Chain A
Amino acid sequence: MKNKLSYKSSEKLVAVAKYGFLAFVTLLALAPVVWVWIGAFKSHLQIYLNPFGFPETFNYRNLINAWTIGRFSVYFKNSVIMTLATVVIVVLLSSLAGFAFGMFNFRGNKPIFYFMLIGLLMPPQAFIIGLYYLLKDIGLLNTYWAFILPSAGANVCFGTFMMRAYFKSLPRELLDSAYLDGCSKLQSFIYIMAPLAKPAMIALFIFQTVWNWKDFFLAFMLIHKESLRPITVGLIFFKGRYTSDFGLILSGVTIATFPLIVVYLVMHKRFVKGVIEGALKG
């Protein structure tokens, strides 16, 4: 009896320690975000003098100012356009290429595939200088394309890698029977394989959306026009302009972080699945 009790209490202790630790990590993950969101409603002096305090009055002027004068409305629109365009291109082209690499045995399959893998490892800094002058020569600098095309170019490598793995895992007999039915390759892709690969495509879509939305370096280097800046670049210029007002900066950060977090919270199941499949399959 005594033995059983102590066993139970030690079990309890383990459980307390475990949940305590999990709660601590939860606090670590959430506190900075919450602090920023509350700070957005405070004035500069309030933040300076009392960083922890709740705002005395909910001063939403910071947010309005950031949205209008900080031009976050424009940045927001740009981020949406650039992210969506890139992701659509990546998903489409990677699915096509992944289908070919994963289901067919053709001359050059392996070498071309490995060649594309180099792109997966390449840091943007390794090609940014050359890319800059290329875009300048073809007149695409300072357009949405200056972000979309290179970003898609870098990410198709990852996408192809991931889609190839997925197509490899599909039964090949399906393709065989489609072929017997007289389908062309494109037909069999559109009517049979693509619908089967939908989960992977959705995962890739989500993975890429988060990735491109957060991207900073390419747009920072290649787009100077204020009216074309995405939200990440806008944010750093905004910080450069209003360094003397923490409340305004926190408002900018809030606007920059809020949308993706909300979308994430609403669609978290898809996100988590997308990330896991995106990374694991890739």
Chain B
Amino acid sequence: MLHKSIGVQAIGIFIISLLICSSASAVKITVWDQYTAPDMSPAVDKLNALFEKANPDIQIERVAMSGEDMRKVLKTALLAGEKLDVVYTEVGPGHMGLLARAGLLIDLTEVYERYGWTERVYEFPRTIATFDGKIWGIGNELEYLTTYYNKDVFQELGLEIPNSYEELIWICEKLKSKGYIPFGFASKDYWTSVHPFAVFVNLLIPKDELDEILLEKDKWDHPGLARALEIWSIEFPQKGYFSKDFQALGYNDGNMLFYTEKAPMRLTGTWLLGDIMENVKTFEPSSFLFPQIKKDIPVRVPMVCGSGYCVPKATLYPEECFKYLDFLLSDEAGKIWIEEAKLVPPFPVSLEGLELAPLQKDVIRSLFEIDGGHFIDIYSTARWWNELCSLMQGIYAGKETVDGTINKLNRIWKEEREKGLLRSR
């Protein structure tokens, strides 16, 4: 299957190179994106090829790299005046916010009006790309955190989707007693720990108070934080809900546990959809939202835009870049985003006539039904959330305490708040 998609990709690259050869006088814009997954990458190649066909005077040079790699090089590259034209980067204050505040990006507020994006793009992907009252980018890939589960195993054991935390624990015990690893979790890639963290703080800290912490306060002073850390970092591993070697497994190993039916549940983001559909052949995958933990706090699901497109100031061809972004927001592109890249673009697309797997339909449908919560990393700085993930690794290993973790996190949070690096109202 992978070979097939790589074949498609090869054809894509071939087409692009043909186009490059055939139109020598065109303007060339360099696009950096993070669509490296084997199902997404060819889809983006196809989008670019379509765009070039419609605009023969513009060529696209695409550089795709993993988010982790991009975090390393993007800021320095932009600051060094590298001629990048369109960049797809994280929308947090430590990424897009930092670049915007340093004056490295073009303010797109006026462009939004001119191209009618204000009406077209959903509010969420627009507001998270807003810093200091100006819009700097377009969030793409609407995503939320969900729990994938192995429907076959659930049916075989007579299990139902849990409606409360107690029911979830009961399911875990049941799975454990049948020799399964309840959760396919892997923590070697430090950033994976942020996902359960985001899920739990939204379930344990009421909306108003969480908003206050993220946007105003210089301290996480809600007891829900300690509980959030305890459940996932201490209780679950101690109860044996993860594999024994989860600390040595990377993100993809965690997925493999789910795909190979060793672990019937996997808590991660909807970005994994394409990968699941490609790899899972032996059972029916489905998903549920992590259930309510406290009676008075309704389920809110962390929502995020994977990353956002923005236009660096260094570009020589801003108008061509806007045209490209406008194309990515077109109906034609929308179909490809959903059908081939298996992600949800930031604007309404009619699902009629599209061939979608049931799991994908479910995900898209519930995206518009759920109560969106906060995905923490778009509110924090790189320094804070690197430390968060690292400290959680410390708790798994029994080398850090919850209290110590909270103190360290609050110290950094305060520093970053004082320096004006966090989001504010």
Contact flags A63-77 to B (C-beta < 8 A → 1, else 0): 001001100000000
- A244-B275 in contact given A69-B9, A69-B10, A224-B77 (Cβ < 8 Å): yes
Q: A243 touching B252 by the CB < 8 A rule?
A: yes
Neighbouring B residues of A48 by C-beta, 8 Å: 256, 260
Taken together as a complex, chains A and B put the C-alpha atoms of A127 and B286 apart, in Å, by 52
Residue B26 is within 8 A (CB to CB) of chain A in the complex: no
Looking at B2, B73, B81, B252, which has the most chain A CB atoms within 10 Å of its CB? B2
User: How many chain B residues touch A (Cβ–Cβ < 8 Å)?
Assistant: 29
Nearest A residue (CB) for B83: A142
Residue B3 is within 8 A (CB to CB) of chain A in the complex: yes
Q: A132 touching B65 by the CB < 8 A rule?
A: no
Q: Which of A29-80 contact B (CB under 8 A)?
A: 44, 48, 61, 65, 68-69
Neighbouring B residues of A61 by C-beta, 8 Å: 3
Q: Which of B228-267 contact A (CB under 8 A)?
A: 250-252, 255-256, 260
Taken together as a complex, chains A and B put the C-alpha atoms of A188 and B328 apart, in Å, by 67
- A224-B81 in contact given A68-B10, A240-B65 (Cβ < 8 Å): no
Contact with B36, one of A135, A221, A240 (Cβ below 8 angstroms): A240
Number of A-B contacts (CB under 8 A): 57
Q: A141 touching B80 by the CB < 8 A rule?
A: yes
Q: B13 touching A245 by the CB < 8 A rule?
A: no
Contact with A65, one of B6, B76, B255 (Cβ below 8 angstroms): B6
Q: B69 touching A237 by the CB < 8 A rule?
A: yes
Residue B63 is within 8 A (CB to CB) of chain A in the complex: yes
Neighbouring A residues of B252 by C-beta, 8 Å: 243-244
Neighbouring B residues of A135 by C-beta, 8 Å: 80
Residue A136 is within 8 A (CB to CB) of chain B in the complex: yes
- Expressed in whole angstroms, the minimum distance between the Cβ of B234 and any Cβ of chain A is 28
Q: A241 touching B80 by the CB < 8 A rule?
A: no
Residue B64 is within 8 A (CB to CB) of chain A in the complex: yes
Looking at A48, A133, A242, which has the most chain B CB atoms within 10 Å of its CB? A242
Q: Which of B284-309 contact A (CB under 8 A)?
A: none
Q: B80 touching A69 by the CB < 8 A rule?
A: no
Residue A226 is within 8 A (CB to CB) of chain B in the complex: yes
- Expressed in whole angstroms, the minimum distance between the Cβ of B114 and any Cβ of chain A is 31
Neighbouring A residues of B73 by C-beta, 8 Å: 224
Q: B13 touching A69 by the CB < 8 A rule?
A: yes
Neighbouring B residues of A243 by C-beta, 8 Å: 66, 250-252
- Expressed in whole angstroms, the minimum distance between the Cβ of B285 and any Cβ of chain A is 16
- A136-B81 in contact given A241-B36, A245-B2 (Cβ < 8 Å): yes
Nearest A residue (CB) for B12: A69
Q: B64 touching A241 by the CB < 8 A rule?
A: yes
Taken together as a complex, chains A and B put the C-alpha atoms of A68 and B10 apart, in Å, by 8
Taken together as a complex, chains A and B put the C-alpha atoms of A131 and B336 apart, in Å, by 43
Neighbouring A residues of B251 by C-beta, 8 Å: 243
Contact flags A211-240 to B (C-beta < 8 A → 1, else 0): 000000000010011100000000011001
Neighbouring A residues of B79 by C-beta, 8 Å: 136
Nearest B residue (CB) for A226: B63
Nearest A residue (CB) for B81: A136
Neighbouring A residues of B10 by C-beta, 8 Å: 65, 68-69
Q: Which of A234-282 contact B (CB under 8 A)?
A: 236-237, 240-245, 248
Neighbouring B residues of A240 by C-beta, 8 Å: 36, 65-66, 68-69
Nearest B residue (CB) for A243: B252
Neighbouring B residues of A225 by C-beta, 8 Å: 63
Nearest A residue (CB) for B41: A241
Q: A241 touching B65 by the CB < 8 A rule?
A: yes
5 shortest A-B CB distances, which residue pairs?
Answer: A240-B66, A136-B80, A241-B36, A244-B252, A240-B69
Further contacts, 10 of them, CB under 8 A, given A48-B256, A136-B80, A248-B2: A132-B80, A142-B80, A224-B77, A225-B63, A236-B69, A240-B66, A242-B38, A243-B251, A244-B38, A244-B252
